[in-house]
Amino acid sequence: MIKTNLKKIGVFGGSFDPPHYGHLKISKIALKKLKLKKLLWCITKKNPFKKKTYFSLAQRLIMCEKLVKKNKKIKVQYFENKIKSSATIDLIKYLKKKYSNTEFFLIIGSDNLIDLNKWKNWKRLVKLTKIVVFPRKDYDQKAKKSDIFQKMKEIIFINNKHINISSTELRNKLN
């Protein structure tokens, strides 16, 4: 029996527009429950399913750095300039080359699981990573009944209390 010592790295992507303590709480839970060596906050310039961002990329990177500064296992990264793509599949392929002997855990909310089949090369993505789903208010049951959930064999659902904060709510309060 061959024993492998795979490193475990979490990938938490998104626009983080703005980042908030819910993102940090999810990250801490993921680090602990999945026994991750580190967690990458992969900031995207713009969510491909939204028209625009509220805060600039530079502002969001600074806010993310401030939010995670006390946790050395969380690294804020912007890769789109290196990989010339905002697609998660391209990010994962890049990370797999950069970090050999590593198992990747893609952290998403139950809202994203519902539409995962709209992501570029999603079938390849789920083969390259373990999909880790965190609960989101009003989305959990819908996610578990979705076609994508029925087709996928390995999904890790994290059972924790709903974190009742969202970037959308925060942006709405700013307007």
**pLDDT tens figures, 20-77:** 999 999 999 999 999 999 999 999 998 777 788 899 999 999 999 999 999 999 999 9
Distance CA 56, CA 78 (A): 13
Tens digit of pLDDT for each residue in 131-175? Answer: 999 988 777 878 877 777 777 767 888 887 667 666 767 676 776
Q: How confident is the model at residue 4 (pLDDT cuts 50, 70, 90)?
A: low
Residues making up the chain, counted from first to last: 175
Q: Where are the beta strands (DSSP E) in the chain?
A: 7-14, 38-43, 74-77, 102-109, 130-134, 155-157
Work out the angle at residue 163's Cα, subtended by the Cα atoms of residues 57 and 110, and round it to the nearest 5 degrees. 80
The pLDDT value given to residue 146: 78
Q: What does the pLDDT look like over 84-143, one tens digit per residue?
A: 999 999 999 999 999 989 999 999 998 888 888 889 999 899 999 999 999 887 778 788
3-state helix, strand, coil in the chain (%, to 5): 45, 20, 40
Burial class (CB within 10 angstroms; exposed 0-12, middle 13-18, buried 19+) of 158: middle
Q: Higher confidence at residue 139 or residue 79?
A: 79
Among the listed residues 55, 42, 117, 123, the one whose alpha carbon sits nearest the alpha carbon of residue 83: 42
pLDDT of residue 1: 44
Residue with tokens 């994203």: 112
Per-residue pLDDT, 39? 98
